[in-house]
Amino acid sequence: MGNGKRLYLATQLKNVPLFGDLSGSQLVALVNAGIVKHYAKGSFIVRQSDTGNTLYIVVSGQAKVVLLNPDGKEIVLSLLKEGDFFGELSLLDDEPRSASVVVLKDSTLFLLTRVQFYKLITTHAGILKKVLKEIVNRLRIADEKIAGLAFLDVYGRTIQVLRQLANERGRKTENGIEITNAPTHQELASMVGASREAITRITKVLKKNKNLVSYRDGKAVLRQELEIPFL
């Protein structure tokens, strides 16, 4: 990698919350320590149960974290966008990957091995704090999903997922809360645990009730904060 590309990547990593506190020289040193890889749409970055010794940071593109059963059916646990990271659990507990990660759009990722990651958190304790905070946040989201599966019907779980997406990547506009890179109906169905047809019916109801303004072309617009209807 030439100096120009290194500086460009260092600039991109500056926008990653995990590395936001590093100086320019520290970012260049980080780039020199890591590896850049490109992944095509539809390819696997990691597979469930694989041995893991690498931290992955999404520099550009989009991916999904999924659980797959033997017949190919998937459950989408989360969507990853630019600035997100994954693989930290295997680095910390030395256990196999707990889920698979599949590319939704052509993506560029920055990789750090376990040795490089440990060196990084030894010299920059703030990064470890951010990693731990993200782990706690993911546990809270997992608790919400478990509660949803136990207490909510498909309609309620759909609203739960849309509200979570709005909190994670939504921005307020004059038309409502806009969610960019919104999942397709099929992906949303995999996140909710329902059929694509059920999701299509529910989005139509949400539009009729004026909670959902639009849902197309990878973008959803919510009119207002959605209240989750408990049974």
pLDDT at residue 43, rounded to an integer: 97
58 in a structural domain: yes
In this structure, are strands 170-173 and 100-113 parallel, antiparallel, or unpaired? unpaired
Domain count, the chain: 2
Structure tokens at 136: 């706690």
Please report which residue ranges of the chain form alpha helices under DSSP H: 3-14, 24-33, 88-93, 114-123, 125-151, 154-169, 185-192, 196-208
- Could you tell me if 119 and 156 lie in one domain? no
Question: CA-CA distance, 141 to 161, in Å (whole number)?
Answer: 10
Q: What's the domain range around 174?
A: 152-222
Distance CA 157, CA 175 (A): 24
* Domain annotation covers residue 208: yes
Look up the pTM and report it.
0.79
- Choose among 56, 131, 53: nearest CA to 94: 53
Give the tokens for residue 114.
């376990």
Choosing from 84, 107, 136, the residue where a domain stops is: 136
pLDDT of the chain along its 231 residues, tens only? 666 777 888 888 888 888 888 888 888 888 888 999 999 999 999 999 898 889 999 999 999 999 887 777 788 888 999 999 999 888 888 888 989 999 999 999 999 999 999 988 888 888 888 988 888 988 888 888 788 777 789 998 998 899 888 888 888 888 889 988 888 899 999 899 889 999 999 999 988 888 888 888 788 998 866 665 544
Which pLDDT value is given to residue 2? 62
- Whether residues 183 and 127 fall in one domain: no
What pLDDT shows up at residue 224? 67
Q: What is the CATH number of the domain that holds 165?
A: 1.10.10.10
Closest alpha carbon to 203 in 217, 224, 188: 188
